Amino acid sequence: MNIRKIMPLLMLVGLAACAHSTSGVFRDQSMDFGAIQNIAVMPLANDTREQTAADRVRDVFINKLLSTGAAYVLPVGEVKRGITRAGLSDPTTPSPEEVVKFAGIVKADAVIIGTIKEYGEVRSGTSSSTAISLSMQMLESQTGRVVWAAASTKGGITFGDRLFGGGGEPMNVVTEKAVDELIDKLFK
């Protein structure tokens, strides 16, 4: 076989192997998502070195969710007051009982929690780029059980970054793409 004929195929397979994939989605089939009118988005857990990552991503998520018009998203201040009134010690990981208590106080039909796993610049050798990795869960207000969960990873060092340099897309663009993907998974 002629190597010149095989080379384009090998390059295509190599490029496909470098592509980023995202995690799947869990959706409770017994949940009526159409009945959700009010959603509370809790402060996000931050497993990164970037101190403001959780607040930035939460703001983007709330704004994108509001823009869908699918449900009312409680203001951050109202969520904060509810956390205080419910006496939640760690609002990033509430127990089912705490979710029920909190949701009753703020009159939320669902509570969204999440974790930022990666946020900011990533490096590999001489290449660098921006990346975000996050996961979110929706908890039912009456029982505190998980009815939806999804994750998204965007950005990172691409084949083009390694070959030509660069630095990837701006962090806000990468964040919006990850959040858009999560919201798409919520409504599918």
Please say whether the dihedral angle defined by the alpha carbons of residues 37, 43, 47 and 51, taken in this order, is positive or negative. Answer: positive
**Cα–Cα distance, 109 to 106 (Å, whole number):** 9
Topology of 35-187 in CATH? Rossmann fold (3.40.50)
Task: Label the pairing between strands 25-27 and 72-73.
Answer: unpaired
The ranges assigned to domains in the chain are 35-187
Q: Which residue has the higher pLDDT, 7 or 187?
A: 187
- Percent composition of the chain: helix, strand, coil (DSSP 3-state, to 5): 40, 25, 30
Residue 14 pLDDT exceeds 60: no
Residue 12, token pair as written in the block = 């295509």
φ, ψ of residue 123 to 5 degrees: the values are -130, 145
Residue 14, token pair as written in the block = 């190599």
pTM: 0.82
pLDDT average, residue stretch 13-39: 70
Give the model's confidence band at 22: pLDDT under 50 very low, under 70 low, under 90 confident, else very high. very low
pLDDT digits (tens, 9 = 90+) for 134-164: 999 999 999 999 999 999 999 887 777 666 6
The residue behind tokens 């998502």 is 33
CA atoms within 13 A on the CB side of 7: 4
Residue 39 pLDDT exceeds 80: yes
pLDDT average, residue stretch 161-173: 77
Check residue 20 and give its pLDDT: 38
What is the Rg, in whole angstroms, of the alpha carbon atoms belonging to the chain? 20
Give the model's confidence band at 15: pLDDT under 50 very low, under 70 low, under 90 confident, else very high. very low
